[in-house]
Amino acid sequence: MGSTFGARLRTALDTRGPLCAGIDPHSSLLAQWDLTDDVAGLERFSFTVVEALADRVAALKPQSAFFERFGSRGIAVLERTVADARSAGAVVIMDAKRGDIGSTVAAYADAYLDPTSPLFSDALTASPYLGFGSLEPLYTLAEKNNAGVFVLGLTSNPEGAQVQGAVGASGRTVAEEIIAAAAARNGDASPMGPIGVVVGGTVETPSFDLSRLNGAYLVPGIGAQGATAADVKRIFGSGARNVVPASSREILRSGPSAAGLRDAAARTVEELQGILD
């Protein structure tokens, strides 16, 4: 890939609109689509989403856990899902939330951020709560291969505040420290650096400045989880241009028809553009 992750993502958002569609084949959605809860159903579900959306949405975000639960055959479906989505022009964000230290993180980097891997994605979600620096192998390989990393920053789940809202010796919350570290890593990269941050779409408006990141914010929860385009504008203000709003169930429950998925995605993009532009 000749262009940086930030450049590819910026182009995708500007040309296709501000939306990352999730690929979350959990059992309830498979049932809703009248599919069997097995590898055959997983395959049909995932490939339908890719066929319907990969040539028109800015990004697709497969949730790795829903593929992993089927073992090696599920991973094989995930590999093809990623490859087909990227071939159709979508930026693929692997939602795996990996996090560890040392050689284990390096192995995760090889799995998701090395172009020779069948799971190679444009970006990977990761947990920095063993320390932001513990993910250094991810950052290094992402930068080398023009890929990206989205670290968890300020999530919507109620349990997250116990860690993310804790105040350190600097007087800043853990979430603020994570965002500051990501901003330092991005530096003055143009148009955006490779390190993004995950911020839930239903969080309270933070007291600190989000605009300094010089990277993308992945914002899940749009639609079925209660977050709206107005929430994105409330949280990010003038920095909303670098937001990647993510919607999964709100779009996926419009399947199994490709037309239904496309219509749902188009409506979501229209709503987001109407407020974020």
Question: Measured between alpha carbons, how far is 218 from 240 in angstroms, rounded to an integer?
Answer: 11
Residues 6+ apart with CB under 8 A from 36: 30
- The pair of structure tokens assigned to 50 is 């890719």
- The pair of structure tokens assigned to 8 is 């590819």
Note whether 54 and 275 are within 8 A (CB).
Answer: no
Note whether 241 and 276 are within 8 A (CB).
Answer: yes
Catalytic status, residue 233: no
Catalytic residue among 61, 97, 144, 233: 97
C-alpha distances out from residue 248 to 60, 69, 87, 206, 264, Å: 10, 19, 21, 24, 11
Note whether 233 and 259 are within 8 A (CB).
Answer: no
Give exposure, 224-256, as e/b (b: 16+ Cβ within 10 Å). Answer: ebebbbebbebbbeeebbbbbbbbbbbbbbbbb
Residue 116 is given by DSSP the state T
Q: Which residues are catalytic?
A: 97
